[in-house]
Structure 1
Amino acid sequence: MTEKACRNCNFITDKSTCPACSGTTLSGDWAGYVVVLKPYLFSLPLELKQELQQKQVSEKLREIFNQHKYTLSEQAEIQPTNSKEWKILDGKKEYAIEEGNEQLNFYKQYLDPNDSEIAKRLNITQPGKYALRVR
């Protein structure tokens, strides 16, 4: 069986039912998808959630990024995705922040443009290694 993406949670699996959410609507058609590689960077306490409620990146948040060896320009902006997820956009750099496990988890987000050969080029073989989002 070839790998398919769960239409419910975007988990990649070679099973007929998604092991992550038990969804049964799976698609093996990679057209219209973008592969998002999201490596973990660091976590912060939930108390800093208020820093993400502003559009502009605060000096405190910029300092925290610097402590973790990442720089944010003065033009960096925060965009809420939902009540527990945010993006920091800084030119071509994008960071994802997710609230989970009583903390804020920060990730670097890499977008690969839609490509019919994307699964082959990236050698997608491990379930859960990549997240897929419909463009």
Structure 2
Amino acid sequence: MRRIVSLLAGTALLAGLPAVANAGPAQDFCFDADANFTPAAGGTKGRVNILARCEAMAESWRLDVYVNGEWWESTTGGKISAVREHWIGVDVPTMPKPNDRRGNFVWAKVTYKTGSWENTYREELGWFPCKTCTT
């Protein structure tokens, strides 16, 4: 009986505490649905494309592209309307050195923002040959 009274008293005390507000939504508002690099055969320059899928409006986005772990190119953009897919992309110049005959690994980091709410994703675009590389 004492345990039941203690539990009830503890529950009553907790009920009197103010509710703690959630710092942000429990799920991501944007994510990446697809990604590609053109030309499809790879190469040392081209275009990185990301298919963004948003469940709510994103106020802005940023796309950073890396090759062999080194920053390659970036771009930013404005709003993506609620609940839609939207292609974002950036033209990339000749890959930074060192290029490697064995191939170059390309990936992109996409950041979506709305106020202080932010989602970041990494999209791996894969290994691309570099037939003209000498190192």
TM class, shorter-chain normalised? under 0.3
Structure in which a larger fraction of residues adopt helix: 1
Higher Rg: 2
Normalized per residue, the structure richer in strand is 2
The TM-score with structure 1 as length reference comes to 0.26
For CA contacts below 8 A with separation 6 or more, give which structure has more relative contact order: 1
